[in-house]
Amino acid sequence: MKIHEYQAKRLMAARGIAVPEGRVATTPEEAVAAVRPLVEASGSPVVVVKSQIHAGGRGKGRFKEHADLGGVTVVTDGIQGGVEAAEAKVRSLAEQMLGSTLVTIQTGPEGKAVNRLYVEQGVAIARELYLSVVLDRATGRNLMMASTEGGTEIEEVAAETPEKILRETIDPAVGLADFQARRLALGLGLEGDALKNGVRFMKALAAFASDLDTDLIEINPLVVTESGDVMALDGKMGFDDNALARHPDVAELRDETEENAAELEAKEFGLSFIKLDGSIGCLVNGAGLAMATMDTIKQVGGEPANFLDVGGGATTENVTAAFKIITRDPNVKGIFVNIFGGIMKCDTIADGVVAAVKEVGLQVPLVVRLEGTNVELGKKIIDESGLNVVSATDMKDGAQKIVEAAR
Amino acid sequence: MSIMVGKDTRLLVQGLGSAGRFHTDKAIAYGTNVVAGVHPGKAGTTLRFEGATDHSGVPGRPDTYAVDVPMFETVRDAVAATNANASVVYVPPFGAADAILEAVEAGLELVVCITEGIPVQDMVVVKRAMQGSGSRLVGPNCPGVITPHECKIGIMPGYIHQGGRIGVVSRSGTLTYEAVKQLSDVGLGQTTAVGIGGDPVNGTNFVDVLEMFAKDDATEGVIMIGEIGGQLEVEAARWVKENGTKPVVGFIAGETAPKGRTMGHAGAIVSGEEESAQAKKRIMKECGIHVVDSPAEIGKTMAEALK
């Protein structure tokens, strides 16, 4: 699960990790009201207005409705005109940004609607750095990565100047050790107060990752201020869905408006569903088999419309729900049901498919391949249903038949 | 012969909730020697399993079975009383890591964890704690391990398996069944089929299993089924190139998976170019593995490779 920047900063602040002061706003009035307290608390007349969406590249992103407006805008009007001038500018920005669609390198051309802004104090930046904590699958441990190239995409740094990425593997029995944090901080060229603050920041962030079960934390940029503070100017975080139940405070940060409605609905029925752009709907049991089914459809000249794993313990109701979710996609020109029954019984799948077709009708060709537990029973249910279903002998046969039928 | 499990396996079951009981019953029907169960609050009782024998399993048994499995509060008690040498974990996700650690501490040689949905950070701790231990962990989030006609540990349907000449190792459950059935259909059968699971941090990996199959005289060839994400398949391919003596047929699922989306398994996500199906297949081919583009071709490709 991803969360917004303002939520990530609140979580960090609560654990003693330095972030700038800021306030969230869903209306222009709230945005304006944030300005004065921020200016008074920080002593800086500069504030920053930041769009809150689950995608990176916001600063360079542009609004569909306002082609010259970036998703993150620094307001300097307060330097000359005082708080009132900053407030006026923030009002005009908020009026344009809220409800508009921000297109960034990560949103795709359709962009994302901006429903929230984060108004933040301006920070006197001396240096911009990069810091992240990710799972390193090679070692089975968390890895902290740091770089002097803050503000740049880390993939770019990795490709062009890999020597500029510093790495420390975190032993779960120890956490990030002092010497490791010092090594990173020294490697970044931090000294004096900044060195001390950097070490503290890194150790707290490493503990944050293991305590809250993040699967990714990226602080880009991590800034060193002119007074030697080290703070997170941005914060991108993802959390392990499997651990959310033990972090109710994190779980409640879920923003469903950022997620695909069909994928959310699928989750309620225990289905793993991902919408894709093709025309062949797939209903499969098992993640590996579901991926292989998509691959096979592509090989025989089709394009899958989705990934859908009904899971091992699916009931007739789950299967019916899965079928409905697939048929609702107007791009779907044919459906391929590919089941290898193990724990999942073929007759359960057959019952679910028949029930769904009776309920929502069948406007497109349907190919069913059943194999494994109770396969004869499953085939009998399909045959006796009177539905217009094409049977397939194996995965490839089924893929060929559905791609042909959907042409 | 076979690897990991066989006639001498004495199985302990951790977590006998509804799923644990269901699969324990199937395992006993198959002929697996289940000697003990561990479940909170059940110590001192026995759990009865009875029904119709699954004749695709251990041969020469009567048509029905009735087994009373003694229950214990801790793994250590269970091992002391029954000499169990392997464990299977059906404990729910938040308790599963602890169950693995308990089995490891009690000195079990093999721990197979079926549980799906264990938090990754829990497995990070388990992996660290298992350093230097003599126990082998298979999984989590896997179908289990089966040596046909001898021992079935896990949730795979027994009847598709057939004793034979080929070892199977896979990250995916249903794709393993797909491969196994084809091997049975073409008459090659399996020595042992091992599901290593789809999680990003797990116990046994491809290379571990390939090494075991290499040493197993009965295994003449190996099927290796991978997925997008991670480096395990690439490491395995390099191992095959350096050490391989038996033909390996490989498949990687997820060629059509979009970058950055998790495809069902927590570990199935393409985060870098080298984690894509295309890259893995290319490297596997370069290392001498017979790579198939559709899982439907696994059986016949192995039959060809053995000629």
Distance between CA atoms of residues B204 and B112, nearest Å: 10
- DSSP of B14-82, one letter per residue? E--SHHHHHHHHHHHHHT--EEEEE-TT-TT-EEEEEEE--TTSSSS--SEEEEEEEEESSHHHHHHHH
Distance between CA atoms of residues A139 and A234, nearest Å: 28
Per-residue pLDDT tens for B18-73?
A: 999 999 999 999 999 999 999 999 999 999 999 999 999 999 999 999 999 999 99
Chain B residues touching residue A313 (CB < 8 angstroms): 19
- DSSP of B262-289, one letter per residue? --SSTT----SGGGSHHHHHHHHHHTT-
- Residue A318 tokens, joined: 């789950």
pLDDT of A263: 86
Q: What is the dihedral of CA A384, A387, A388, A392, to 10 degrees?
A: -50
Nearest CA in chain A to B197: A288
Chain A residues touching residue B253 (CB < 8 angstroms): 288-289, 291-292, 295
Nearest CA in chain A to B295: A292
Burial A350-378 (b: 16+ CB within 10 A, else e): bbbbbbbbeeeebebbbbbbbbbbbbebb
Q: What sign does the CA torsion over A143, A147, A153, A157 have? A: negative
- For residue A125, is pLDDT > 90? yes
CATH T-level topology, domain A261-406: Rossmann fold (3.40.50)
Distance between CA atoms of residues B186 and A229, nearest Å: 68
We find that the CATH architecture of domain A125-251 is 2-Layer Sandwich (3.30)
A295–B255 C-beta distance less than 8 A: yes
Catalytic residue among B23, B39, B149, B265: B265
More confident residue, A316 or B152: B152
Name every residue whose Cβ is closer than 8 Å to that of residue B296 and which is 6 or more positions away in sequence. A296, A394, A395, A396, A397, B178, B182
* Full set of structural domains in chain B with CATH: 11-138 (3.40.50.720), 162-305 (3.40.50.261)
Given A307, A313, A342, which is nearest B174 (Cβ)? A342
- B299: phi then psi, degrees, rounded to nearest 5: -60, -50
Chain A residues touching residue B172 (CB < 8 angstroms): 286-289
Per-residue pLDDT tens for B113-129?
A: 999 999 999 999 999 99
Chain A residues touching residue B123 (CB < 8 angstroms): 140
Q: How close is the nearest chain B Cα to the Cα of A114, in Å? A: 22
Chain A residues touching residue B230 (CB < 8 angstroms): 137
Interface A–B counts its CB contacts (< 8 A) at 168
Chain A residues touching residue B296 (CB < 8 angstroms): 296, 394-397
pLDDT of A261: 85
Is residue A263 within 8 angstroms of chain B, CB to CB? no
Q: What mean pLDDT is predicted for residues B146-162?
A: 96
Q: How close is the nearest chain B Cα to the Cα of A304, in Å? A: 8
Q: How close is the nearest chain B Cα to the Cα of A143, in Å? A: 12
Please count the residues of chain B.
307
pLDDT of B278: 93
Q: How close is the nearest chain B Cα to the Cα of A297, in Å? A: 9
pLDDT of B177: 93
pLDDT of A16: 94
- For residue A294, is pLDDT > 90? yes
Alpha carbon separation from A367 to A281, A306, A334, A402 (Å, rounded)? 10, 16, 8, 6
Nearest CA in chain B to A284: B174
- For residue A402, is pLDDT > 80? yes
Q: Are A140 and B127 in contact (CB under 8 A)?
A: yes
pLDDT of B264: 73
Q: What mean pLDDT is predicted for residues A223-232?
A: 96
Strands (E), A317-393: 334-341, 366-372, 389-391
pLDDT of B1: 75
Chain A residues touching residue B94 (CB < 8 angstroms): 245-246
Q: What mean pLDDT is predicted for residues A370-388?
A: 89
Q: What sign does the CA torsion over B301, B205, B268, A325 have? A: positive
More confident residue, B248 or A157: B248
Half-sphere exposure of A300 (CA within 13 A, CB side): 22
Which residues 71-100 on chain A approach chain B with CB closer than 8 angstroms? Answer: none
Which residues 212-241 on chain A approach chain B with CB closer than 8 angstroms? Answer: 213, 215, 240
B277–A140 C-beta distance less than 8 A: no
Given A287, A298, A371, which is nearest B255 (Cβ)? A298
Q: What sign does the CA torsion over A312, A314, A319, A324 have? A: negative
| pLDDT, chain B, mean | 94
Burial class (CB within 10 angstroms; exposed 0-12, middle 13-18, buried 19+) of B59: exposed
User: Catalytic site residue A29?
Assistant: no
- For residue A132, is pLDDT > 80? yes
pLDDT of A52: 96
Kindly indicate the confidence band of residue B223, based on its pLDDT and cuts at 50, 70 and 90: very high
Could you give the ipTM of this predicted complex?
A: 0.91
pLDDT of A370: 92
Kindly indicate the confidence band of residue B175, based on its pLDDT and cuts at 50, 70 and 90: very high
B155–A292 C-beta distance less than 8 A: no
Name every residue whose Cβ is closer than 8 Å to that of residue B97 and which is 6 or more positions away in sequence. B118, B119, B122, B123, B125, B126
- Residue A195 tokens, joined: 């060195």
Instruction: For an interface test with B, give the residue of A135, A142, A293 to mutate (most B CBs within 10 A).
Output: A135
Q: How close is the nearest chain B Cα to the Cα of A150, in Å? A: 20
B120–A242 C-beta distance less than 8 A: yes
Domain ranges of chain A: 21-121, 125-251, 261-406
Q: How close is the nearest chain B Cα to the Cα of A271, in Å? A: 9
Chain B residues touching residue A245 (CB < 8 angstroms): 94
Return the percentage of chain A with pLDDT > 90, whole number: 74
Nearest CA in chain A to B172: A288
Q: What mean pLDDT is predicted for residues B287-300?
A: 93
pLDDT of A291: 94
Q: What mean pLDDT is predicted for residues A324-351?
A: 90
Instruction: Provide the pairing of β-strand A101-103 with A62-63.
Output: antiparallel
We find that the CATH architecture of domain A21-121 is 2-Layer Sandwich (3.30)
Kindly indicate the confidence band of residue B213, based on its pLDDT and cuts at 50, 70 and 90: very high
Burial class (CB within 10 angstroms; exposed 0-12, middle 13-18, buried 19+) of A156: exposed
pLDDT of A250: 96
Return the percentage of chain A with pLDDT > 70, whole number: 100
Catalytic residue among A5, A120, A130, A149: A130
